[in-house]
């Protein structure tokens, strides 16, 4: 505690802030890259005019409350104020669309990753680029706005992601880490910059609309991990810390998306490593040795924060429906007058699921709170499906919901492992699904038929990951690669606890997923008729 206090007092602590879907989290780390304080703020997206968004006011009120919570945590633990920092990093949920005019005013409400209204644009761009362009990528949002003939497009002088926006506002720099940038527009792995060929194709495509801008004019500059991305301005310091204690001049690392920070937090930036993040949404990231043989609609090609090619399977839905069912059991417990401990409820129900049949007794769950591009649905309806002859009991019920949380992830990863024959040495899991020891790990191992490691630090998540990128910016005295820096300075040989799949679990999950795919028309009907 004394060391942590002196680190903060000397201005040597590093701050990572991540804007997640349901929580903004701040983590302060010391020179050994260990968390020493944290703060958080809970928030929710809003559905406005049919599109998911967070208001500009919510963004700043949220980060200020999160920082205030961090200050309070530092004060209660160490009895001091945060006056100065060694570095800051900003991360956020990836992609989406934030467009600004020459007065730095946002032109339309922030369109988040969750929106699936960009189908026509994504399909046309995928064909034009001969490259999979997902619905949530910034270029899909921009082109869809053009196709919709939206008035604001002519006034764009800059567009970016949420992480890029916050970084710009606190440093004045219109830049983006390469991992997040790879979800705005595809990256050329040779140049480590946006694909010049695709920029040229896009400019030619939209030329008939007569806009005054070219795509290069309005994109943020691409930076690799460790490169100079600017410093905290006086105005930026006030935007984070309304109390006025935080001083300007702090170096800020390139802003990254939550996929990039997840890779860092799980030490999965090296080729032949991978990680799975499972929370409100889920995604897997496999760092490739070479490009895939062809584009796949289910697989997004992004990069690590230092520019290696990554195959990403992104699913819009993961634990939201599972949590909703667990909350139903909480209500029942309260109704019966029993004390409620959510960790105990999750632990008991998750572990009980392991006593169920490997194929969930025929039960199926669709956890679609929103649309799911991997399975071709633009909207979702949470749905539980069974026949009268299925084995309906609590263990199978919970197991079906756990399987559903990674079911879509399995569909995408089956392409990588079965069709592309991708080889991995290690996959690490992190996020809320893995909080109950061993359960989420075992389910995921069965789903993708691969050993899964979980580290003690997995719960630290992306805020810790972006803090580590801040550390890489200012503490990389040996000029090491990011992978070597993480191996030697952060993880020091810790590979976590590994769980391997059993043949019975793999066969059971395969049976479940065939049933799941066969019954997708039921989910489609629910979307069509349940309004």
Q: What mean pLDDT is predicted for residues 116-144?
A: 95
Same domain (yes/no): 305, 419? yes
Same domain (yes/no): 201, 328? no
Residue 313, beta-bridge partner list: 284
In a domain, 51, yes or no: no
Across the chain, mean pLDDT equals 95
Residue 387 in tokens: 């026949």
Three-state SS for 21-90 is CCEEEEEEECCCCCEEEEEEEECCCEEECCEEECCHHHHHHHHHHHHHHHHHHHHHHHCCCCCCCCEEEE
Q: Tell whether the model's pLDDT for residue 495 goes beyond 80.
A: no
Q: What mean pLDDT is predicted for residues 252-258?
A: 96
pTM of the model: 0.85
Note the pLDDT tens digit of each residue in 409-452.
999 999 999 999 998 988 998 888 988 889 999 999 999 999 99
Same domain (yes/no): 509, 488? no
Q: What is the model's pLDDT at position 248? A: 98
DSSP 312-340: EEEES-SSHHHHHHHHHHHHHHHHTT---
DSSP 286-300: EE-SS--SS--TT-E
Q: Tell whether the model's pLDDT for residue 460 goes beyond 80.
A: no
Same domain (yes/no): 213, 299? no
In a domain, 174, yes or no: no
Angle among Cα 186, 189, 190 to the nearest 5 degrees reads: 130
At residue 35, φ and ψ (nearest 5 deg) are: -65, 135
Note the pLDDT tens digit of each residue in 267-306.
999 999 999 988 888 889 999 998 899 999 889 999 999 9
Same domain (yes/no): 312, 332? no
Q: Tell whether the model's pLDDT for residue 456 goes beyond 90.
A: no
Same domain (yes/no): 303, 440? yes
**What residues contact 437, with CB distance under 8 A and at least 6 apart?**
none
In a domain, 118, yes or no: yes
Contact indicator for 140, 131 with CB cutoff of 8 Å = no
Same domain (yes/no): 494, 514? no
- The CATH number of residue 471's host domain is 3.30.420.40
Q: Tell whether the model's pLDDT for residue 458 goes beyond 60.
A: no
Note the pLDDT tens digit of each residue in 187-219.
998 999 999 999 999 999 999 999 999 999 999
Q: Quick check: helix, strand or coil at residue 307?
A: coil
In a domain, 5, yes or no: no
Q: Tell whether the model's pLDDT for residue 253 goes beyond 70.
A: yes
Residue 84 in tokens: 């100065």
In a domain, 469, yes or no: yes
Q: What mean pLDDT is predicted for residues 31-39?
A: 94
> 234: pLDDT confidence band, cut at 50, 70 and 90?
very high
Q: What mean pLDDT is predicted for residues 51-79?
A: 97
Q: What mean pLDDT is predicted for residues 231-248?
A: 98
Same domain (yes/no): 203, 338? no
Same domain (yes/no): 417, 286? yes
Q: What mean pLDDT is predicted for residues 244-253?
A: 98
Same domain (yes/no): 420, 307? yes
In a domain, 8, yes or no: no
Q: What mean pLDDT is predicted for residues 498-513?
A: 96
Contact indicator for 16, 38 with CB cutoff of 8 Å = no
> 459: pLDDT confidence band, cut at 50, 70 and 90?
low
CA terminus-to-terminus distance, the chain:
55
Q: Which runs of consecutive H residues, i.e. helices, occur in 367-460?
A: 394-414, 439-448
Number of separate domains in the chain: 3
Q: Tell whether the model's pLDDT for residue 494 goes beyond 80.
A: no
In a domain, 165, yes or no: no
Residue 314, beta-bridge partner list: 283
Q: What is the model's pLDDT at position 120? A: 97
Q: Tell whether the model's pLDDT for residue 468 goes beyond 90.
A: yes
Same domain (yes/no): 214, 296? no
Query: Residues of 407-418 as b/e, b for ≥16 C-beta within 10 angstroms?
Result: bbbbbbbbbbbe
Q: How many residues in total does the chain contain?
A: 531
Instruction: Tell me the helices (H) and strands (E) count for the chain, helix number first.
Output: 18, 22
Q: What is the model's pLDDT at position 1? A: 64
Residue 505 in tokens: 């679990």
> For 179-193, 382-396, 487-501, which range has the lowest pLDDT when averaged over its residues?
487-501
The share of the chain scoring above pLDDT 90, in percent, equals: 87
Same domain (yes/no): 337, 349? yes
In a domain, 29, yes or no: no
Residue 390 belongs to domain spanning? 319-407+502-529
Give the largest Cα separation in the chain, rounded. 67
């Amino acid at each position: 505690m004394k060391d942590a206090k002196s680190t903060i007092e000397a201005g040597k602590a590093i701050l990572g802030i991540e804007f997640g879907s349901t929580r903004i989290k701040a983590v302060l780390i010391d020179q050994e890259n260990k968390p020493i304080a944290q703060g958080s703020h809970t928030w929710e997206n809003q559905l406005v005019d049919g599109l998911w968004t967070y208001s500009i006011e919510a963004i700043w009120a949220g980060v200020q409350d999160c920082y205030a919570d961090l200050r309070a945590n530092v004060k209660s633990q160490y009895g001091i104020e945060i006056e100065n920092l060694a570095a800051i990093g900003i991360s956020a949920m990836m992609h989406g669309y934030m467009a600004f005019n020459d007065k730095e005013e946002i032109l339309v409400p922030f369109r988040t990753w969750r929106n699936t209204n960009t189908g026509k644009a994504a399909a046309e761009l995928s064909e034009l680029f001969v490259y999979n362009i997902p619905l949530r990528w910034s270029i899909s949002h921009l082109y869809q706005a053009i196709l919709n003939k939206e008035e604001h497009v002519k006034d764009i002088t800059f567009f970016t992601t949420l992480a890029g926006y916050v970084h710009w506002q606190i440093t004045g720099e219109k830049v983006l880490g390469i991992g997040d940038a790879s979800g705005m527009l595809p990256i050329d792995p040779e140049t480590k910059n946006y694909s010049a060929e695709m920029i040229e194709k896009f400019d030619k495509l939209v030329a008939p609309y007569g806009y005054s801008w070219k795509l290069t004019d309005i994109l943020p500059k691409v930076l690799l991990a460790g490169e100079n991305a600017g410093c905290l301005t006086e105005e930026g310091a006030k935007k984070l810390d309304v109390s006025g204690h935080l001083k300007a001049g702090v170096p800020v690392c390139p802003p990254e998306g939550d996929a990039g920070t997840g890779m860092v937090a799980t030490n999965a930036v090296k080729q032949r490593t991978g990680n799975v993040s499972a929370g409100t949404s889920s995604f897997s990231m496999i760092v490739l040795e070479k490009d895939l043989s062809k584009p796949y609609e289910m697989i997004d090609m992004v990069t690590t924060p230092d520019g290696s090619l990554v195959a990403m399977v992104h699913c819009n839905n993961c634990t939201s429906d599972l949590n909703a069912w667990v909350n139903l059991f909480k209500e029942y417990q309260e109704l019966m007058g029993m004390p409620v401990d959510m960790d105990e409820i999750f632990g008991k129900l998750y572990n009980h699921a392991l006593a169920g049949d490997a194929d969930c007794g025929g039960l199926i769950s669709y956890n679609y709170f929103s649309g799911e591009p991997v399975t071709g649905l633009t909207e979702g309806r949470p749905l539980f499906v069974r026949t009268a002859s299925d084995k309906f009991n609590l263990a199978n019920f919970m197991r079906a919901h756990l399987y559903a949380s990674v079911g879509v992830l399995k569909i995408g990863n089956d392409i990588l492992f079965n069709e592309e024959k991708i080889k991995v040495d290690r996959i690490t899991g992190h996020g809320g699904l893995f909080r109950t020891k061993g359960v989420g790990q075992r389910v995921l191992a069965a789903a993708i038929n691969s050993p899964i490691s979980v580290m003690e630090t997995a719960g630290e998540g992306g805020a810790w990951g972006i803090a580590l990128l801040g550390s890489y910016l200012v503490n990389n005295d040996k000029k090491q690669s990011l992978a070597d820096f993480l191996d030697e300075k952060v993880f020091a040989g810790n590979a976590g606890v590994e769980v391997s799949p059993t043949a019975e679990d793999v066969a059971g999950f395969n049976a479940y997923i065939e049933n799941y795919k066969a019954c997708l028309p039921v989910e489609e009907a629910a979307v069509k008729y349940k309004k």
